[in-house]
Amino acid sequence: MVEQQNRYICSMKFISILAIIFATNPVYSQSGAEKEVLNLSGKIFNWHVENKISSLQTLMSQKFSVVTSRGDIQNREQYLKTLSSGNLKHDSIALGKSMVTIVNNTATVIGRGWFYMTVAGSKIHRHLSFMEVFVKEKMGWRLIALYTSAIPNQ
């Protein structure tokens, strides 16, 4: 009888641990705000591929800045000019898993992806990690910062 109770207690502990793991896993416990921010992040990458500069412009905060994978730092106007110039074209972007964290009115999205681009007429592809920072303004979430970094070939 005692052995059965011990097995039952062990089983219940195991089930409790699994429940905690699933409840705290971002995939299973995303809030509405987290889903909204991840959706916006996905749209941003689609708009880069579709060259929808006006959509990107609408989502960007006036204080937006970016650090590119080459280490260039650009403000909102400089980045939009780069995208509009035609010198850089995102041919396709294949995103991996992304994670979002929200604290108060600030959300960060981190992730990785393969970026296929045409730069000055040359086709290139890069495996990049990225971080996006969003702030909640009166009109909704706005992208305030983007950071990208090249991932060395593995």
Decide if 145 contacts 116 (C-beta within 8 A).
Answer: no
Decide if 76 contacts 63 (C-beta within 8 A).
Answer: yes
Tens-digit pLDDT profile for residues 15-36: 444 344 444 444 445 789 999 9
Task: State what percent of residues in the chain have pLDDT above 70.
Answer: 81
pLDDT above 60 (res 39)? yes
pLDDT above 60 (res 85)? yes
Which residue did the predictor score with more confidence, 153 or 45?
45
Question: Which H or E run contains 92?
Answer: strand 88-103
Task: State what percent of residues in the chain have pLDDT above 90.
Answer: 71
Assign 18 to helix, strand or coil: helix
pTM of this prediction?
Answer: 0.77
Tens-digit pLDDT profile for residues 119-128: 999 999 999 9
Nearest to 109 by CA among 57, 43, 16: 43
Which residue did the predictor score with more confidence, 47 or 11?
47
Mean pLDDT of 51-75: 94
pLDDT value of position 17:
46
Question: What residues does each domain of the chain span?
Answer: 1-29, 31-150
Averaged pLDDT score across all residues of the chain: 85
d(CA 148, CA 38): 17
d(CA 83, CA 89): 7
* Start-to-end Cα distance in the chain: 55
The CATH number given to 31-150 is 3.10.450.50
pLDDT value of position 3:
58
Tens-digit pLDDT profile for residues 132-154: 999 999 889 999 999 999 998 75
d(CA 90, CA 83): 9
